[in-house]
Amino acid sequence: MYLASIVIPTFNAEQFLRRAIESALSQTMLASSYEILVINDGSTDSTQDLLDTYSSRIRVINQDNAGFAQASDRGFRESRGKYVVKLDSDDFFAPELLAKTVAKLEDNPILNYVFADYYEQCGKVTKLVNLAGEVFHSTSVGFVYRKDSLVEAGYWNTSLLFPEYDLLLRTLSKWKGEHIATPLHTYVRRSESVTLATEHWDMKARSQLLAIHPEHSALISKIRKF
């Protein structure tokens, strides 16, 4: 039904969510060619009230709290676009993200995904992250999948802390991707985010991957530090 889907999983992020939604609505791609799907993962703040103000412009699925991986994966499964991209509720897209990534995928039917450079914002400091083609330095945000490829791969393994990297490791010999050397989204590092607030989260996430994919320890070591 759509050329692309933007999936926004959210949980109690009312202070940031409007910025994320506005960045999704502000894409230079024709508005009728893409959808915005918000998965409200059991929020207990005023998230629903905020979402109601966008009721005519976005699609919302409410669910009991299940965690970021489950919410993201449900968004992928429920999406109706040919291509699908995740936007976390505290991050935001550049206006041309969809236009540039979808054009790349449309021009290259052998590609299963594309990923782009991005800005990382921590407090008042913003820096450019140049991925130089290293897909394991990317984040799950702004990573654009061909929906058919996700279906064939069985989507995310939601029992893992790094389901996005597990998917790449599972499809290593099958999928082809391409890097776009232009920053197309901003990743916001917050001290209260799960990756920073949960003790040893990063170490546990990597250990899970190593247990499943011991033959890819060198690639797992390339995953960016959170």
pLDDT number for residue 194: 54
- pLDDT confidence bin for 224, thresholds 50/70/90: confident
User: Does the domain at residues 2-114+138-179 carry the CATH identifier 1.20.120.530?
Assistant: no
pLDDT number for residue 198: 58
Residue from 1, 41, 24 nearest 186 by CA:
24
pLDDT number for residue 197: 46
pLDDT number for residue 17: 97
Q: Which amino acid is at 166?
A: D
- pLDDT confidence bin for 166, thresholds 50/70/90: very high
27 phi, psi to nearest 5 deg: -65, 145
- Model confidence over 191-219: pLDDT tens digits? 665 555 456 888 999 999 999 999 999 99
Whole-number average pLDDT of the chain: 95
Residue extents of the structural domains in the chain: 2-114+138-179
- Model confidence over 104-137: pLDDT tens digits? 999 999 999 999 999 999 989 999 999 999 999 9
Residue from 181, 218, 207 nearest 104 by CA:
181
pLDDT number for residue 191: 62
- Model confidence over 47-81: pLDDT tens digits? 999 999 999 999 999 999 999 999 999 999 999 99
pLDDT number for residue 189: 86
Residue with tokens 């250990």, as numbered in its chain: 207
- Model confidence over 18-45: pLDDT tens digits? 999 999 999 999 999 999 999 999 999 9
Element (H, E) at 106: helix 97-107
- pLDDT confidence bin for 9, thresholds 50/70/90: very high
